[in-house]
Every structure is written in structure tokens, then in C-alpha cells.
Chains A and B, each alone.
Chain A
Amino acid sequence: MTDVILEKVGKTYPNGYHAIPSVDLSIEEGEFIVLVGPSGCGKSTLLRMVAGLESISTGELRIRGERMNEKEPAERDIAMVFQNYALYPHMSVYDNMAYGLKNRGMPKDQIAEKVSDVAKMLGLTELLQRKPRQLSGGQRQRVAMGRAMVRDPKVFLFDEPLSNLDAKLRVQMRVEIRQLQRKLGTTTLYVTHDQVEAMTLADRLVVLNKGKAEQVGTPMDLYNKPATPFVAAFIGSPSMNLINANLTEQGIKISEALTLPLSHQHRGGIVWGIRPEHLEVSDEQNADFALRILAVESLGAETLIHGKIETELGNGEPMVVRLSGPHLPEVNSLMWLTAPVSHWHLFDTKTQQRL
């Protein structure tokens, strides 16, 4: 069943700034959707429009078939977790979680029951009488989630909830959020700028760029078949090598001295892309091109090699290669590489669409 539908939803600010031109999205019940994009792409604005904290300028938002545009946030049956948690500093953990229910006029004993259930699930039982300032960052995060969960809403909204935590805790909470969401089966909309978070959490990802949904799909879809160079560059770390080239009869002409053979009916300017992890080291005879090594980053499990493509005419396009395991090539030496055709990504320069 479709749970949340955004139909041509757009946002124009009173000063005329067109934050979001038009976004279409339909979310299935129980789905975990991640809105991801660089800062300023409108992802938080979109989330806040769903929440009712920003008005919707054009289009329609429907939750379970009901038009929500004009409803107050509290009437939309949604719950939101904020970036800085936004816990009420003067209330105990219990009161923080109970406040929303109290405002709905739920009887006291039912509130107590619900809060203690959620607290148990989140491991907060011991902390119920504490004030937020007596809690650690991770605990506050959990209380913020608890406050959303007790309401038993139709939709959870998360606005970069992990960005205030340290790296280790972030990984831990990420796993926890995913497990909880699976267990509760609540439809979730999650905003982040961290593509690792996005990839690991999402059932489906929405990559936003300048207020437009560049691509919607499962993480693997986006990784394997990015629709635009923007998505290609955004998903994956380190990001895909993208080089402006020309598609001719001989193949892909990357520079005057380098053409990779390919038969394709398209002609003209393209963006040629290959992921760092798909480049392979080979010997001189079989190589597609050589790389002049400029820097080596050894991470133990993998090695990132930064270099520039070297031809007779000097070196040109920068490129990153990712090799598994430790490697210690010398800086400034040459490295021979093959780029398997099956891993190529071609985009039309003009339309920015995948070929």
C-alpha cells in the first residue's frame, strides 16, 4: 500500500527563491527512504514540508490518501527526530517522551505503559528520571527517537539525526535505527548528507540536487546504474572518476593521444566514468592506459592511488584507483591499468543522462 505520496511538490520562498521546483515521490508502507544530497540541495526543506514545518507552495502531499498540505504538524500523525535532538531541557526523559501523548489527552496510565515499553526497547529505563543535560550524546539521541516512537506515528522523519555524534557511535546508532525501523515497520523518511549512511540505511534512495530528484532507486541501482554524472559522483567513496570525452567511430576519445575502443551509435560529447574500485592493474601490453602516480593513501584494507593519465602528449585527466589490500607503489612511477568495459558509465554531456 502506498503510504506517502508527494505529487509535484514544490517550494518557493516569499523572496522568490525557488528552493524546490517539483518533486514526485511515492513511498510504500514500511519503506525506509533516504533523502541524500549535498548541503543546500533542499533535502531538509523537503522533509520539513512533509512535517508541516514549511508550507508547500505547489503540488500535493498525501499521507494514507489524505491531503496534508493544510494540516498542522501535530495533525499529520508523524514524528520527527531533529539534528540537535531538541529535547525539552527542563523536563525529565519520561516527560520528554510523554509530552506529545499528554497533549493528545491520553490517560495517564496508558502514557506510562507506552513510555515504559519504548524505554525498555531503547534501553532507557534507568534514565527515565534524568534531565537531558545529564545524558550523553548517544543517550539524548535515543531519547529523541523514543519521543518519536511512543507516538506510534504513521511516518518517522529524521533530519540528519546522527551528525552530532562521534564516528563510532554514529555507526552503532545507524545499525540500531535500521533494526528498530524493521521491527516497528514504520514508514521512514531520513535526511542525510552522508552517502555511507544513505547507502546502508535505505530501502530506496532519493538523490537530490538543487531541489530536483536526480534519481530514485535502491542503493545498488544507484551504485550500478547512476542516471546522471551527479549521482555517479555522489554515490560511492571515493567517488567515480568522471572524464569529459568524445564518442567517435573509433571509440571514446579521452584526449588527443588516448582513445578507448567502443562501438556505440551515439556521437558527440559524453562523460565517461569508471569507479576507482573497478580499475585493474595490468602489464604494459594489455593495459588501456598508464597512470602517473601523484599520491598514495594506504588504509590497510585498501589503498587509494591518486594520479593522472599519462600519454605521449604529457599527463592529463586526474584519476583515482582503489586497490584492495596494502600496496606501496612509488610516487611518480607509472602504473598500467585496464578499465573493463562492463564497468563503464556513459553520460550525454548535453542532457546529462545515462546512455
Chain B
Amino acid sequence: MIENRPWLTFASHATLLTGIALVALPVWMALVASTHPASAFGAGHIPLWFGDAGAETWGTVLFEKAGNGVDTPVWFMMLNSLIMALGITFGKIAISLLSAYAIVFFRFPFRNLCFWIIFMTLMLPVEVRIVPTYEVVANLDLLNSYTGLTLPLIASATATFLFRQCFLSIPGELVEAARMDGAGPWRFFFDILLPLSRTNIAALFVILFIYGWNQYLWPLLITTDDAYYTLVMSIKRMLSVTDGDIAWNQIMATTLLAMLPPVAVVIGMQKLFVKGLVDSEK
């Protein structure tokens, strides 16, 4: 669309800038609040410019303890969150790649039924099956462990479906050519299929990492040991102090830190992400 209407340009820019301001304002306020003493935020007037307690708050939060009853430092919880998010992401990608591979390229009885059963699990997110899942995990003695944090979240119908679509678009002659070239099932998977679904994997990585990182209910339920607390659930715990003031400055700093990894992943993988969703190399 080529148009030369100055007021239109102005209006669209103004709209976009307003949008950015709306999105950015809470983040800005969080950043500002983390540089004031804990009392400033609760006193009624909301500061809009940096205070002088920044270094102290951030230092405490990052390296000593997050505060408000959470005694582990934020970097430690970040590590937990990272382990959980990456575990979920890689687990989901690996499992879905394999199941989509089986469904698309192998002929076995009840193949379609298998696919639809996997597909139907879309209707059963963790929140729905949380009690039985908890029982299973508890019986397996996996409470307070990284396995317990990640394993129940790994099965993914969405990713399986996405990879299935991606594999279905690979021309049959390519599969046959690989067979003629003597590539067995594993070779075909690693040499042909994985490189061809590279962009899809990247796109899914972004989505799934954010999904994993933002997990709240499940870790809240199955971890009772400080050593396995994840960042997102800890923010909630920091809020529920019974006595005394809520240390808003520390909470805000923690919140900001919790936002960083997803942002980093999105920015870092933006190009591949868009490519994976929009075009295919085939």
C-alpha cells in the first residue's frame, strides 16, 4: 500500500506509541518501584521516577534472599525455573517429533486412532487432571524433584499436531529418494526430517519455553522444598505474608527478573520464529 497522507502517518504512529506506552507503563512502574524503599509503594502515592534504594534492593534480591518469607536468592530460583522450562521444552519437542514421525511415516494398526487420541489430550491440560496427576507423581515419589516438575507437562498434542502438518508437507518422493539412498528410519529422521523442520522446531521452542517458564499451578503444588522453588510461583508466595509490610520493592525486582528470560528467548529467536510460522523451505 503506497499512500501519502501525512495525517494518516501521524495517526497510526500516535496509536502505536499509545499502545507501547500502555504496555510499557506497568513495567516502568515496576522498575521504578524496585528502586524505592518498601514503604514507598504502599504509602499511597506511586513514584514515577527512580529512587535511591535500587542497588540495595537488587543486590539483596539477586544474591541473598528474595524476601517476604522466601529465603532463596532469585538467581537460584531462576535456575530452577530455567531447568524446568528447558526440560519441558526439550521434552515436548522430542516427544512430539517422535510421535509425529511415527504417525506420518509408519503404517501400523490404529494409526489414525492414535493420532486422534493424542489430539484429544488437548482437552486435558494440567489444570483439569491436576488431582490424579498429583497422585501419580506422589506415588512415584517424584514430589520435590526436577522430574516431577517437568515430566507431567511434557506430553503435547499441539506440538505433535504442528509437526504432523510439517511432515505431511514433505513430498513423498523425497522420502522415497532417501530410501533409495539407503537411509534407514533413524538416518532419515536425523539427516532429512530434522533439518527440514528446523524452523518449526525453533518456533515451537519459543512458544514452549514461555509456556514452561510461566508454569505456576503445578510447581506450586508439588514443591514444598525451597531447593525446587521456581521463580513464578515464588512471586505469589512473596505476596502472601501474614504479618508486616509487603516488600513491594523486592517483589517488583523479582518480577522484572522473571520477565527477562522469555523476553530474551523471543528476541533472540525472533527471525527463526517468524520463519517457522510463516514459510516453509520445502
Contact = CB atoms under 8 A, between A and B. Distances in A.
A88 B196 CA distance: 9
B180 A100 contact: yes
Interface string B157-201: 000000000000001011011111111000100011001101000
Interface stretch (A30-38, A79-87, A285-293, A335-343): A79-87
Contacts of B173: 82-84, 86
Most buried by B among A53, A80, A89, A133: A89
A88 B180 contact: no
Interface residues of B, number: 19
Nearest to A151: B181
Interface in A86-130: 86-91, 99-100, 103-104
A84 B192 CA distance: 17
Contact of B183 (A82, A86, A103, A133): A103
Contacts of A73: 176, 179-180
Given A74-B182, A100-B182, A103-B181, A86 B176 contact: yes
B129 interface: no
Given A53-B176, A86-B176, A88-B192, A100 B181 contact: yes
Given A86-B173, A88-B192, A103 B182 contact: yes
Contacts of B196: 89-90
Given A88-B174, A88-B192, A103 B179 contact: no
B282 interface: yes
Contacts, number: 60
Nearest to A78: B180
Given A53-B179, A74-B180, A86 B195 contact: no
Contacts of A86: 171, 173-174, 176-177
A90 B281 contact: yes
Nearest to B174: A86
A82 B177 contact: yes
A51 interface: yes
A72 interface: yes
A80 B178 CA distance: 11
Contact of B281 (A72, A84, A89): A89
Given A84-B171, A89-B282, A72 B183 contact: no
Contacts of A79: 180
Contacts of B178: 88, 99
A80 B195 contact: no
A104 B181 CA distance: 8
Contacts of A80: 176-177, 180
Contacts of B179: 53, 72-74
Given A90-B195, A99-B191, A82 B176 contact: yes
A49 B180 CA distance: 13
B27 to A, nearest CB: 40
Contacts of B198: 90
Contacts of B174: 86, 88
B25 to A, nearest CB: 44
26 contacts: A51-B176, A53-B180, A73-B176, A74-B179, A84-B173, A86-B171, A86-B173, A86-B176, A87-B177, A88-B174, A88-B177, A88-B192, A89-B196, A89-B281, A89-B282, A91-B195, A99-B178, A99-B183, A99-B191, A100-B180, A100-B181, A100-B182, A103-B182, A103-B183, A133-B281, A147-B181
